[in-house]
Amino acid sequence: MALGAVAAAIGVFAGTNVDDIIVLAVLFTSARAMGVPKAWQIWAGQYTGIAVLVAVSVAVAAGLAVVPDRWVGLLGLIPLGLGVRGLIRAIRARGEQEPEPVKVATGVVSVAAVTIANGADNISVYTPLFRTIGVADTVITIGVFAVLVAVWCVAGSWLGSHRRVVAVIERFGHWIVPIVFILLGGTILLRAA
């Protein structure tokens, strides 16, 4: 059971934070080029932002405890809808040459703010997840998320030093995220059926 929770947590975190890799790569590139934000500020801001997103999701999921289980699965429509919307945007934007710019932060608070602002999708996926799993799996999931934030920061730092890798992520990230959301939404709906 715990191994399944770890695998699910890895999949959910990776799926909802693919775009954060690009943001982190840009932040670490900025840190190397301009000295701001400092690497520790990026790490602290990322942990703070993800912690806020998880806390909000857990609180909302707890509030949903009064909702019958058979209706909770309908929350899977949120990531499914976000995925479909993202896929439609990706299809419409196929001919565009210039990707949407990423805002660069300058300190812990601004890095956390970018992470939170970039995390509406996280809340929409984490909330039904935390509502449908037990307390033990929630603790495991949060622990896995904590470890993966470190992995993401290391990966962002590494990617921030390789412009070709950043270009590939920027090129295909807009396809990966919607597909993962569609799969997550479908899984939540199927689990509730």
What pLDDT, in 10s, does the model give residues 101-121?
Answer: 444 567 898 888 878 877 767
Phi-psi domain of 35 (left: phi exceeds 0; alpha: psi -120 through 50; beta: other): left
Higher pLDDT, 91 or 33: 91
pTM above 0.75, yes or no: no
Which pLDDT score, from 0 to 100, does residue 99 have?
Answer: 47
CA distance 158 to 162: 7
> What's the rounded mean pLDDT across residues 15-44?
84
Which pLDDT score, from 0 to 100, does residue 23 have?
Answer: 79
Segment 52-92, tens digit of pLDDT: 999 999 988 888 766 665 666 676 676 677 778 878 887 88
According to the per-residue pLDDT averaged within each range, which of 25-29, 42-46, 55-59 is highest?
Answer: 42-46
User: Are 16 and 124 a contacting pair, CB within 8 Å?
Assistant: no
Which pLDDT score, from 0 to 100, does residue 101 have?
Answer: 41
Q: What is the CA radius of gyration of the chain?
A: 17
The residue assigned the tokens 């954060």 is 20
Sequence-separated (6 or more) residues with CB below 8 Å from residue 85: 178
